[in-house]
Amino acid sequence: MELRSSGFRSGTTIPRRFTCDGEDVSPPLEWANAPAGTRCFVLLRDDPDAPTGIWHHWAAYDIAAERTGLAEGAGRAVSAQGFRQAINAFRKPGYGGPCPPHLHGIHHYRFRLLALSIDRLPLGDKPSCEEVEREARKHVRKHVISEATLGALCQR
C-alpha cells in the first residue's frame, strides 16, 4: 500500500499552509494498492519528537474502503464527509497542523494509513486520537492488514 501527497514529498519540509503558522489545513492525501480484504481505513498523524511524548495531531477513521484519498482541508472538523474524526492533542476534533515548540529543532511528522479488515471501529462519540489507534491496533493480526507511512519535517 502506498500513501502520498500532492502537497509535499515524503521526507521534505511540510509547507507552511499545512502548519499552525499557516492556514492549518490538512494536506491532500492519496493512497493506492490497498490489499484485498480492506473494509475501511484509519489515517493517523502524529509527532514522535514532541517534548511531552507523542503528540497526536489527527485521526480520521471509518474511511470507506472505496476511497483513495482525502482532499486538502478534509480535516476541518465540520467538513468530514464519509468518515469520522477524533479529538486531537489540541483538544479539538479534526486536524491540527505541525506546531513544534520554537527552537526545539526538527520534528518528524508521520501520516500513517491503516487498512482494516472491519467496516468501522467500535468507538464512542468523541474518541481521542490515542483511542482510535489503540482500537485499530487492539487485535493487530485480526484488523490491521496493511500500513503505509508518509513523513514530513517541520521546525520553528
Contact 92, 134 (CB under 8 A): no
Q: What is the pLDDT along the chain (156 residues), one digit of tens a residue?
A: 999 999 999 999 999 999 999 999 999 999 999 999 999 999 999 999 999 999 999 999 999 999 999 999 999 866 557 899 999 999 999 999 999 999 999 999 999 999 999 999 999 989 999 999 999 887 556 667 889 999 999 999
Any idea where the domains of the chain sit in the sequence?
Answer: 2-154
pTM confidence score = 0.92
Reading the block at residue 45, the C-alpha cell is 498523524
For the beta sheet containing 29-32, the strands, ordered from the edge strand earlier in sequence to the opposite edge, are 2-4, 29-32, 69-70
The CATH homologous superfamily to which domain 2-154 belongs is PEBP-like (3.90.280.10)
